[in-house]
Amino acid sequence: MVAPTAPTLSQPATRSREEDSAKRRQILDGARKVFLDLGFDGASMGEIARVAGVSKGTLYVYFADKHHLFEAIVERENLDYGRESFNFAADRDPETTLFEFGCAYIELLCRPEGGSAVRTVMAIAERMPEVGRRYYDQVIAKTISELATYLKARVKASDLVIDDLDHAAAQFMLSCQASLFLPFILQKSPPPSRAQIEASVRSATRMFLAAYGKA
């Protein structure tokens, strides 16, 4: 989490950790709604305080400005994303594992609130590149690495033949997105249905195994 950095923003010693955590969550929930409704540029600390139900003074006790607030929201998104448990047990067969992972991954990526967070990160990444890098490292690269580790185990078991594990993992994740993610993230289409996700992931799994499965 992003903590206030200025000495003047230190929290009163009398505030309990539980109260502090609850108030912080309250502020982040309000800020998240404002950012999603108004965008980063349209959001103001005053509006965030109003929606969060706190005074501006209380808001500034926790966060120096909206940049710190947005970084904290991205960090929480990363933590929420990390709670998703993909089953990459090394002894599972590739077809089942890839299909189940692909479906869970696209459902997570294309959930309405997740998409809005990605849109907002993309919109400000040029101005705040550290936020974009952190999101990539903690969300995308982490998932690629976990999938690559599983693929390495299946290569060792002689189920797959892959030279570049990270590349193959990224390939599979992108092929699962296929015609689903960009229409969703650009608001051309609503979140894909389970049937659409399964069809896209099943196709991606077939292509992956055709390319990397042991003949």
Per-residue pLDDT tens digits for 172-194: 999 999 999 999 998 899 999 99
> Nearest Cα to 197, choosing from 83, 89, 122, 111?
111
Stretch 150-175: mean pLDDT: 97
Place of tokens 């926790």: 62
Q: pLDDT of 138-154, one tens digit each?
A: 788 989 999 999 999 99
Q: For the chain, give the mean pLDDT.
A: 85
Residue 99 burial (10 A CB sphere; 0-12, 13-18, 19+): middle
Q: Are 115 and 177 in contact (CB under 8 A)?
A: no
Instruction: Tell me the two tokens of residue 164.
Output: 């570049």
Q: For residue 67, give the 3-state DSSP assignment.
A: helix
Predicted pLDDT at 82:
58
Q: Are 8 and 59 in contact (CB under 8 A)?
A: no
Distance between CA atoms of residues 52 and 32, nearest Å: 9
Predicted pLDDT at 33:
86
Q: pLDDT of 99-133, one tens digit each?
A: 999 999 998 888 876 677 777 788 778 888 888 88
Residue 166 has pLDDT above 90, yes or no: yes
